[in-house]
Chains A and B, each alone.
Chain A
Amino acid sequence: MNQNSSDYLLEIKSVSKSFGELHVLKDVNLNIAKGEVVCIIGPSGSGKSTLLRCINFISPPDSGEIVFDKVSWRSYRSKFNVLANFRYEKKLPALRAEIGMVFQHFNVFPHMTTLENVSLGLQKVRKMKKDKAKEVAAQSLEQVGLSDKLQVYPDQLSGGQKQRVAIARALALNPKVMLFDEVTSALDPELVSGILDEIRRLVREGMTMIIVTHEMKFAFQVAHRIVFMDQGKIVQVGTPEEIRNTQEPRAKAFLSSILE
């Protein structure tokens, strides 16, 4: 893995990705500094989720490079060298462990209690002893206001509570950056603000974050920079002020359609 001299925590370099004929990401470049909060907005199907999933290689890019904490990562798959594929796959978890991700549909583990959901990664990824892991997991759950739900299975939780478990599960591992993919879109309206408040708390704590969201008001409040994507490309990047007053036609059209 190459050394890199930049000051960015995360660099997305010429990332492209297709699904068959469909070019979902076309040469995307974006740099993110430590402590920065970047919100990604754009119409449905513009590639926002795919971009987030390329960062931790849950959906590996076809080409391009992710430089995370000065280490470069590229997709690798050899048709012939099975051993090399195996070695490559063995490395990816190390990257993912430093990148927390929260999904639209929570994806909490239904066969585990709240506490087990959070402590699993601590035990298996951070190699903590069981007791220590449970202790740290309980702290993490306390931070999202779920101290009284430690022994409960997810099917007894509300959507908002499930999403809190998912946030605690990611944060417990002490990641260097957090990725949020429309984490309030599947929630009942009255539960949205609670989850947004959790993210605001992370903003205050200085967490580096990339947030894909349709909550425009929230995005313009918390973001240091806003990224507007359309048709697989980053069309514009700017401060909330710059984006609000954008003259770029597509961004302007998108914002006026959504702010109506």
Chain B
Amino acid sequence: MDSSVPLFDFAAVWSSRTLLLEGFGIAMFCATAAIILAMIIGLLIALMRLSNSRFLRGFAFVYTQLFRGVPLYVLVIWVYFGLAIVADINLPKIPAGIITLALLNSGYLSETFRSGILAVNIGQSEAAAAIGLTKRQIKRYIVLPQAFRIVLAPSGNQFVDAIKDTAILSIIGVPELMRMAQQQADLFYRPFEFYTTAGILYFIAVMGVTKLFSFIEKKMNRIGFTNGSQKVANVGEYI
């Protein structure tokens, strides 16, 4: 290597900071939007899997298996190019990326939510039924709030995964952090510096999310229950 070229040079990174931060912002936006969508869909799928209807249970099972089973790489191609070919739906890049991540994560979260709901002691639902609450009220006021506490930590982990997974969205051209880093690295021939910087930004985001979730968890512990999850009981018959 030419001795006049310094071994590490982050000057190029600094000069591209606006682009990198924009990419970082887009990555965080995609991950956050996707995880919120995934939580909503995941909850619905979990409730379907626990419902009385065979049809809904079957649908939810297939849904979960499908989106947990397909690699993200393939899924994003399906959503972006596949939908355009098959259904003539041309999604812009960022929405396509968000939907892809939401589908994938909803598959995982539905399983997390399902086990969280089942982990709420069956005696809770029985006591709620005994005072005359309807099935819907039991879910809303008794089971889901307690299940929420149980799934908080695993949901945080899922969020962390989603942040790192945004990097894959670069393959359809979403201008997120990894794509920006890649472009700038190629431009300046400084791959090590740019990718390391990207890595550090992901790391900071992950730390932030982890902190946020443990903060929420602490807060919930303070307002009451530390052991929302008791032993896993058989599903009550009255359900």
Contact residues of A with B, CB < 8 Å? Answer: 56-60, 82, 85, 89-90, 92-94, 96-101, 103, 105, 107-113, 120-121, 124-125, 153-155, 166, 169-170, 173
Cα–Cα, bound, A92→B128 (Å): 13
Of B132, B134, B135, B225, most A-chain CB atoms within 10 Å: B132
Binds A, one of B1-9, B58-66, B94-102, B142-150: B142-150
Q: Which of B28-36, B106-114, B119-127, B189-197 is the interface stretch?
A: B119-127
B129 within 8 Å of A (CB atoms): yes
Contacts A92-B238, A111-B145, A166-B127 known; list 6 others, CB within 8 Å: A58-B130, A90-B134, A92-B129, A94-B132, A100-B130, A169-B131
B-chain residues with CB within 8 Å of residue A108 when the two chains form the complex: 127
| B238/A155 in contact, CB under 8 A | no
The answer to whether B187 has its CB under 8 Å from any CB of chain A is no
Report the Cα distance A121→B132, complex, angstroms.
7
> Of B127, B129, B228, which is within 8 A of A111 by CB?
B228
Interface assignment of B224: CB less than 8 Å from any CB of chain A: yes
Which residues of chain A are within 8 angstroms of B88 by Cβ–Cβ distance? none
Bound state CA distance, A108 and B131, in angstroms? 12
**Interchain residue pairs with CB less than 8 A apart (17):** A56-B129, A56-B130, A58-B129, A59-B237, A92-B238, A93-B133, A107-B121, A107-B126, A107-B127, A110-B225, A120-B141, A121-B132, A125-B133, A153-B225, A154-B225, A169-B127, A173-B132
Chain A residues near B15 (CB-CB < 8 A): none
Closest chain-A Cβ to B196's Cβ sits at a distance in Å of 44
* Cβ of B227 under 8 Å from chain A: yes
Interchain nearest-CB distance for A232 vs B (Å): 17
B123→A105 contact, CB < 8 A: yes
Contact in complex: A109, B132 (CB < 8 Å) = no
B137 at the interface (CB under 8 A from A): yes
Q: Please, how many angstroms separate the alpha-carbon atoms of A98 and B130 in the complex? A: 9
Chain A contacts for B126, CB-based, 8 A: 58, 103, 107
Min CB gap B187→A, angstroms: 54
